[in-house]
Structure 1
């Protein structure tokens, strides 16, 4: 049994892929870029909550796939955090920003990971997405 269980606030983020394979990154302030998403409501179903957050922050309609990465940690104030990052797809690329973000970009997965995102959880999620896509391509070649 765990001696001290993690009591955590849950956040969900989305790696949203456009038809051309670009990913959406959102600018929160002058130095911070992140993936769209946010905290779940207390009685919200996970996918419903993520779709709500995406719609509020971007105006996009998305298809949500399986979670691609999860992480748990304590923030600087010692509060528990738990994050789930989902792979998502959209046919749309016209973003309507909410007051939470000041800009957005559609960029390659590598550019998102290496040049925009500074949160290690988001970078790791993109690494997993790229690994899964590479495995899918290898399987398709072998079929």
Structure 2
């Protein structure tokens, strides 16, 4: 048994792939890019919450696949955080920005990982996506690391 269980705020992010096999990255400010998504409502089903966040931030309707990466940590002030990154697909690249972001780009997975995203959770999710594409099974999976 764990002495101190993690009491955490849950966030969900979408690794959205376009029909051209590019990923969507969103610009928060001059120095910060992220994946679309956000916090779940207290009574919201996970997939419903993720689709709501994606639609609010991008105007896109996505097909949500399996979780590709999970992570838990405590932030700078000791608050618990738990994040799930889902693999998603979009049929269009017509993004309508909300006021939460100032720009967006559709880029290759390696460009998203290496040139835009600085959050290790997002980078690891892309690494897992690329690794799954190289495997004979081609499936993505959530992990517990």
The residue number in structure 1 matching 2:20 is 20
Task: After TM superposition, give the deviation of residue 71 of structure 1 in Å.
Answer: 0.1
In 2: Cα distance, 1:123 partner to 1:113 partner: 5
The residue number in structure 2 matching 1:88 is 88
The residue number in structure 1 matching 2:114 is 114
Task: After TM superposition, give the deviation of residue 139 of structure 1 in Å.
Answer: 4.9
Residues matched between the structures, number: 138
Alignment gaps of 5+ in structure 2: 139-145
The residue number in structure 1 matching 2:134 is 134
In 1: Cα distance, 2:117 partner to 2:137 partner: 29
The residue number in structure 2 matching 1:42 is 42
- TM-score scaled by structure 1? 0.95
Moved beyond 2 Å, runs of 4+: none
Note closer, same or farther for the CA distance 1:3–1:101 as it changes in structure 2 (3 Å cut): same
In 1: Cα distance, 2:121 partner to 2:137 partner: 27
In 1: Cα distance, 2:39 partner to 2:116 partner: 22
Task: After TM superposition, give the deviation of residue 134 of structure 1 in Å.
Answer: 1.2
In 2: Cα distance, 1:107 partner to 1:122 partner: 14
In 2: Cα distance, 1:17 partner to 1:125 partner: 13
The residue number in structure 1 matching 2:60 is 60
Q: Which has the higher helix share?
A: 1
Alignment gaps of 5+ in structure 1: none
